[in-house]
Structure 1
């Protein structure tokens, strides 16, 4: 039996704190603090901190090192461990909780639901919220952490990393946030893992971008050692770990239509922040929508813009943003520098780039509206046809910038495109100016798109035309930029070739006015040059003159069209270019047709046909048949028109010319309609409408709607007729086709008369007459019977003075005002004046 003294000794040891027990065992072992530290592999400061109670609750590994160095046997080893655990339970610092939100989360319902589901249901253990600076990653991260908090029985730990400047501070920051004050930094990750253990908790690492490599290493270690741990990270750059799920935080929803303004998240955020500044935006939502569209829904940009309302109106703000994003500054004084301005937000990301990434980032700012990998490789390498090595380098650097959220990626119809947000692009363009490479990049960019335009031109009359039309449409902003460069630098060859290569695209997709402007400016530039400098540009000039004449014709500028087409005809003949000559003759035939000179039109189309036949050009012969059929039905010869247009239709199906097929179907539908075969006409015209819509062929859409509207008017279904004719009129008006607009106005007048709205019918007839007078064309022969009947009925229904007043009002109103839509019941002609 032990003595009373020995029992008291054991009781004293059992009741002592961890520090006291450690000191007693060290002294009994005859060791100094230095001696114990050396045997245990710890620092002297660590031993002193434990004995004095400055550091309590050492980790299990540290306990083993101490017990082994002291050569403790059970029960002394167990008592020392129990003392350490007791102190850990009573003195452990609580985990750092997510901060309380300072404002309401606007929008983000979809994003919050998706991310909370992924974490709350343990679909993934590592989720990274990524996106460019200012998109709202931290705010969404905070909302997610709060939303899923109850799903983690051991809690949520918030680790803010934005203020760190040294990657070495990452692990201590995590340790401090989970309530761990470690002795040794050499084993800090292991001690964090031991602290977490099998706890079911969520570790939130906010703002990882500038320390992403270290964060990735720590996350990999913790996920491996802590089976119930989940991690939520926010970063402009991905962690690139196995098992990482990525959620790209989108910008706030924008109002794409007037009906979406009230429900737009971006508008709601701006309005809320404006109100907080004492500015009432009610009644100015159209201007708010303009602002948020320009800012592309970026939350930080919207907040910074709203902050400017203390010294500006919304209209002034919107106008200023059209010029520059430089006013997006003045954020909260308590915010970090990168959140006080958009420049600061982007600068923070830019500072993390390698020199090669910075160079590419600046060069890519030359693109407008996005780009493809091949385009990037061309601009980056300066090679017109970049090889595998250049493409691989472009892909690598593009991927790095995408991972860092400085560019975005979209995938559609099997094609990947990249783009920069406008505010980021402006920053990158400034960097390009700073290094003096703007002109070089702009030239490479322009030459790439010149090559693309010329390549596409050869595909626009082939079966694959729809794909190429869509491709050119997607690159329209870049094509505009390339054209602007060619004109700005007086690069006459490039300007002529680019404008000439794009005129058919402009014709098919309804860019009449813009294409005309390009061609006229390029031709004017060429004409201003000395002859010796343009001697080799005859072919390019002939094509440009043909394009300028064709687009002028489509806008009913007949005199200008004739001048350009006659020049092109002479040039093609001098070049011995029969194909160019035949196409020019075809366009001159179109001018004669719309002016009502049907005999001249037939002669020109026959001459065109003969040339195409001599060349063996089946597509050209089909077009000649189609135009001859068009002339025939306009002059009232429906049988000849049908025969010609059927030949054209069959040929177009064989050669795969979508535009030609649409036109032949429109003509056949019109012929059936004027022949009284309304069911057949409707079937054919619905086919032409669907085809034209699929191709993005706006003229075909407008004509199809026009003829379908006439069918419904003949059936007496006037409400449907109004709908179709209104759509047709708006489309023709937007295209600039005044010849057809006049005919549609006359059809609308016929409908108005059928609905006993004679005064409005007189107004429409006057508007049509005004248009015809301006462009100096008659009513087509085939339409004269309907026109005459409508006018007679209107004049019979109205007093002479009333008719003349309504007629004169219609003549005085611009076409754009008339084409705004059929007026509601009860409104007379004066409602549109």
Structure 2
């Protein structure tokens, strides 16, 4: 069974078999800490309520199951006892917890050794810096644990101080007394202990200063004076007649050890000129390894500039301040960089130990070994790599370990020593936030200083930046540029410091640009920096000299790879062998990740790429081999993506997409169009599922212009295009669909029109495949519905003839969605059922889910809400099974939409929130903003206008940050609506900003909303003529498709109210009828109820009080009624009540509440 060590005294750290487990799952860490520290079984109900207090029980239990799974992923199976109703942590011998060990060591009767070890274990407060903002009861429990453990630490320090003083270990006692006092500066007993210790040591001045410090703190904090005992001690010390009084009780009698401890630890460690930043997990791991009795040799191995020396020095410094029994004879730093021969290692160690070779006739080496033979100490041998060439450098370390059994050695090196006794700790770049995480910080209110705590690279850059530019601070504006630089430099400490130093002259954007363009930019002239580390080029030049000729041939070719590579890929592309890969890894030039892939630091890749470009023929050959290898892989995995093994296929492509992009672009540059053509569908499918279409659009844009130049004329032979012409037509068609997500852009219209014209004029429609369907759909949406749909049907027929069932199934979904959106309902369900059947047959669950989702839309329009929900829930399971997180997020949005149109607004809120969270994790900011807007709309429906306004303002801010003019324009409008509902004067300003944006962007759809709202406002102000003009303008700008049904229905309803004002009941009834007809096609119950409330008004005007009461009662009683509709329905109800006797009114209301909405609409439309 693996050994698990839990470190919760300080920043949480979890280790399995000595390897730190990285996780960003705060709930998993918190739950593990709670189970470990409490040490007992807990009911699932208790844990769910503790960690997810705001969730209902079903969701809380689901979150608990997920978190328990995450703990199993961290630790491995077998550590949890997860019963049906309870959960506990198993405690075999392989499980170790620092809190439990600390408690054991500080138990009553503990000796000095145990107490010293205990306070050493106490790195910081329990779960330092950790909190769960959404679990207040857990935070309260953590608070009490912190308080309890701090109290235990104070007791242990007090006992340790007393015990050490009794055996005359004054300096060590002072160090512990100061730590004791740091826990509570107002604790006078600790002050008196320090005063006594200084007096015993003969340091009268320090003792008196301690009293003055005590008096000042008490006066500042409590406006008090020291106790009489403290003042009396001060007087005795001042007069010089100090004799120790009886020791004050510290609660526990300290048993003395049988022998005196050794003297305080000695060291020669250089003082740090800058603070040690971050790297807490690495530091804890190195320290833990050094404390392992079985470990004698620890090598910190990593590339130049990775911070090996600084990490080693910090670990050594911590150990030098640890209990003296660890390394009784000290910790010593031995710099080796200046040495030019392994023969100089022995003198360098002797110099660090201040050992003089005085025995004539005896070799210095033997004298050193004799000195070390009985010593217990740690040697830090720094910069060892250049002393390993002939093996004698490693042999000296091996011999030293043999003759000095109590000596431990820590080395820093770019190359491992290759000894059996060697334990490796690979030092890589400092931790860098992934891009999605950094983007998500833009929408959180948590302080940035808290968010960057786990990411040492950002902390180091900020600290270095502030040395160069004291006014620099991390803000939302500077955060992403800083993260980009940290990611570009792969967290390399030296590179981060060199880059940050330029802030006195350049902006962050300019620094990033210079790094990308010029490796020599990262340099310094500072005299206290070693010469070989004054530039990144110097670092890499030195590493290059350590390579063999074979390694020098392979390493540059490995720079062809983007985002890492496998052993097989390296062998195929670079012609390398396993021994060479191993050698490059041992020399810290490449690293092997946990998933088996190899990666190279980006700056080293840039350096080695320069070497490759020095041999243009080798560069071209390597690019060709790379392109063929990954294009073949894309086709192979593309077939798997369309089958029951699709998740595995998508996973492989996701790992290799950067290599595949590079291979694809190289094939285009080399005009290998035959090789490119069959890759279009796999590329499209991958970007649709695991990336974004924007990224695919950027890729296509990179090649379309050059390709257009290559095919300026139609194909030489009509209807028989060569590969270049065929590829151009397909890419143009594909691009029209890829760019269609931007509603305001003209590119979809331009691309689809141009693509269809070229395809038609060249007579090659039958050869375009799926891209033709996509272009036809966009043409139908944006240019001409009938013509686009006709081409869509033709393209589907071509695909059926060609027998590409996967393309047929996907084309059916695209065409079905288009037919539905354009209001063409006939035969759509049958078409989608065909797509569902084909998808099931070929085993493509994603295309199956797409067709089912579209089918759910159709069923929603038919008000078959339960069927639609069941289908969407099936789709959710499919998306999650295949690992399509974007599809899962989109489907949650679809579920929310069904709940919205069916009037279940609270459930819609929950699903929009889940979709929002998932999109946030994926870094999909446009979708995050969209979810915020729709969640706001649901709160508006529920009458929570303040809450809705906050969300809508968040969406507006996000759209502005992204530069999304479309989203910004709509947000202005919706903020104006909410300000109107809250009766705030700024509503008018937001409406006008929306109008200006809609006009500038030529957004007719937005203008229809604006004119409707302005018309309603004018009607309310008594301006009937102006109201009618605005409402008619809204109708004139709208289109007869499903996108405008909702607003057209609403506008017709408002025109009916204009007619009612003029007592033109016939016209009003006609408008209401037309509005109801449109709303019924849209199937949104909320807008139908708005219309029915208006009809109740009409009947009240006409003195048809029974009908008015029944209809108003139906509206007010229905679950889907909007909060803002309620006053509209209450008015005719009150009018009817005033004109009807009590019994008749009650009967009418009761009858209205019992009405079936669907039947009412059907009857009204038939009348």
Determine if the TM-score, normalized by the shorter chain, exceeds 0.5.
Answer: yes
- Closer, same or farther in 2 for the Cα pair 1:729/1:224, shift >3 Å? closer
Question: 138, 155, 161: which one pairs with 2:336?
Answer: 161
Task: Tell which deviates more after alignment, 660-669 or 170-179.
Answer: 170-179
Structure 2 CA distance for aligned equivalents of residues 304 and 742 of structure 1: 40
Alignment of 1:109-258 (within 5 A): 109-149=280-320, 150=324, 151-178=326-353, 179=355, 181=357, 192-212=368-388, 213-256=391-434, 257=438
Question: 330, 349, 352: which one pairs with 2:524?
Answer: 330
Deviation at 1:269, TM superposition (A): 2.2
- Closer, same or farther in 2 for the Cα pair 1:623/1:313, shift >3 Å? closer
Deviation at 1:653, TM superposition (A): 2.6
Structure 2 CA distance for aligned equivalents of residues 753 and 567 of structure 1: 48
User: TM-score scaled to structure 1, two decimals?
Assistant: 0.70
Structure 2 CA distance for aligned equivalents of residues 588 and 450 of structure 1: 25
Report the equivalent of 2:726: 542
Report the equivalent of 1:77: none
> Structure 1, residues 66-88: CA drift from partner, whole Å, max 9, x if none?
xxxxxxxxxxxxxxxxxxxxxxx
Report whether the alignment pairs 1:423 with 2:598.
no
In structure 1, runs of 5+ residues without a counterpart are: 1-93, 382-392, 799-833
Deviation at 1:281, TM superposition (A): 0.7
Deviation at 1:548, TM superposition (A): 2.9
SS at match of 1:445: helix
Paired residues of 1:548 and 1:564 also in contact (CA < 8 A):
yes
Alignment of 1:513-552 (within 5 A): 513-521=697-705, 523-527=707-711, 538-539=722-723, 541-552=725-736
- Closer, same or farther in 2 for the Cα pair 1:335/1:651, shift >3 Å? same
SS at match of 1:204: strand
In structure 2, runs of 5+ residues without a counterpart are: 1-264, 442-446, 741-747, 946-973, 979-990, 1007-1035, 1059-1167
Structure 2 CA distance for aligned equivalents of residues 123 and 595 of structure 1: 72
Alignment of 1:79-98 (within 5 A): 97-98=268-269
Question: 885, 899, 904: which one pairs with 1:711?
Answer: 899
Structure 1 CA distance for aligned equivalents of residues 284 and 428 of structure 2: 14
Report the equivalent of 1:280: 471
Report the equivalent of 2:854: 667
Report the equivalent of 2:542: 348
> Structure 1, residues 273-329: CA drift from partner, whole Å, max 9, x if none?
333345321266435444433323221112222333454455543442342232211
- Closer, same or farther in 2 for the Cα pair 1:314/1:621, shift >3 Å? closer
- Closer, same or farther in 2 for the Cα pair 1:552/1:589, shift >3 Å? closer
Report the equivalent of 1:553: 737
Structure 2 CA distance for aligned equivalents of residues 188 and 432 of structure 1: 47
Deviation at 1:658, TM superposition (A): 3.5
Paired residues of 1:254 and 1:266 also in contact (CA < 8 A):
yes
Question: 557, 573, 593: which one pairs with 1:363?
Answer: 557
Structure 2 CA distance for aligned equivalents of residues 782 and 530 of structure 1: 38
Paired residues of 1:189 and 1:218 also in contact (CA < 8 A):
no
- Closer, same or farther in 2 for the Cα pair 1:597/1:96, shift >3 Å? closer
Task: Tell which deviates more after alignment, 285-294 or 491-500.
Answer: 491-500
SS at match of 2:711: helix
Paired residues of 2:357 and 2:364 also in contact (CA < 8 A):
no
Instruction: Name the count of aligned residue pairs.
Output: 684
Structure 2 CA distance for aligned equivalents of residues 99 and 175 of structure 1: 17
Question: 92, 104, 129: which one pairs with 2:275?
Answer: 104
Structure 2 CA distance for aligned equivalents of residues 787 and 746 of structure 1: 16
SS at match of 1:555: helix
Task: Tell which deviates more after alignment, 145-154 or 252-261.
Answer: 252-261
Provide the aligned C-alpha RMSD in A.
4.6
> Structure 1, residues 317-369: CA drift from partner, whole Å, max 9, x if none?
34423422322111531332112111111221111111111222222223332
- Closer, same or farther in 2 for the Cα pair 1:450/1:541, shift >3 Å? farther
Paired residues of 1:133 and 1:349 also in contact (CA < 8 A):
yes
Structure 1 CA distance for aligned equivalents of residues 718 and 367 of structure 2: 78
Alignment of 1:449-528 (within 5 A): 449-486=630-667, 502-508=683-689, 509=691, 510=693, 511-521=695-705, 523-527=707-711
Paired residues of 2:328 and 2:376 also in contact (CA < 8 A):
yes
> Structure 1, residues 756-783: CA drift from partner, whole Å, max 9, x if none?
7694387889959944679x99867455
Paired residues of 2:416 and 2:587 also in contact (CA < 8 A):
yes
Task: Tell which deviates more after alignment, 210-219 or 443-452.
Answer: 443-452
- Closer, same or farther in 2 for the Cα pair 1:447/1:186, shift >3 Å? farther
SS at match of 1:475: helix
Structure 2 CA distance for aligned equivalents of residues 795 and 722 of structure 1: 33
SS at match of 1:466: helix
Paired residues of 1:665 and 1:688 also in contact (CA < 8 A):
yes
Paired residues of 1:97 and 1:156 also in contact (CA < 8 A):
yes
- Closer, same or farther in 2 for the Cα pair 1:253/1:585, shift >3 Å? closer
Alignment of 1:406-421 (within 5 A): 406-412=589-595, 416-421=596-601
Deviation at 1:118, TM superposition (A): 1.3
Deviation at 1:587, TM superposition (A): 3.5
- Closer, same or farther in 2 for the Cα pair 1:784/1:312, shift >3 Å? closer
Task: Tell which deviates more after alignment, 277-286 or 489-498.
Answer: 489-498
- Flag the structure with more relative contact order, 1 or 2, with Cα contacts below 8 A and sequence separation at least 6: 1
Report the equivalent of 1:44: none
SS at match of 2:378: strand
- Closer, same or farther in 2 for the Cα pair 1:173/1:673, shift >3 Å? same
- Closer, same or farther in 2 for the Cα pair 1:529/1:444, shift >3 Å? farther
Paired residues of 1:709 and 1:720 also in contact (CA < 8 A):
no
Paired residues of 1:288 and 1:314 also in contact (CA < 8 A):
yes
> Structure 1, residues 482-531: CA drift from partner, whole Å, max 9, x if none?
45545556666667677687344445442342243145235324315998
Deviation at 1:208, TM superposition (A): 1.0
Report the equivalent of 1:375: 569
Deviation at 1:133, TM superposition (A): 0.8
- Closer, same or farther in 2 for the Cα pair 1:750/1:158, shift >3 Å? closer
Structure 2 CA distance for aligned equivalents of residues 493 and 777 of structure 1: 47
Paired residues of 1:626 and 1:648 also in contact (CA < 8 A):
yes
Structure 1 CA distance for aligned equivalents of residues 918 and 700 of structure 2: 23
Report whether the alignment pairs 1:688 with 2:866.
no
Alignment of 1:776-815 (within 5 A): 781-782=1041-1042, 784-791=1044-1051
> Structure 1, residues 412-431: CA drift from partner, whole Å, max 9, x if none?
3xxx3222222212211222
- Closer, same or farther in 2 for the Cα pair 1:192/1:274, shift >3 Å? same
- Closer, same or farther in 2 for the Cα pair 1:528/1:215, shift >3 Å? farther
Task: Tell which deviates more after alignment, 202-211 or 292-301.
Answer: 292-301
Question: 830, 835, 840: which one pairs with 1:653?
Answer: 840
Deviation at 1:207, TM superposition (A): 1.0
Structure 2 CA distance for aligned equivalents of residues 735 and 644 of structure 1: 34
- Closer, same or farther in 2 for the Cα pair 1:750/1:194, shift >3 Å? closer
Deviation at 1:117, TM superposition (A): 1.0
Paired residues of 1:206 and 1:233 also in contact (CA < 8 A):
yes
SS at match of 1:128: strand
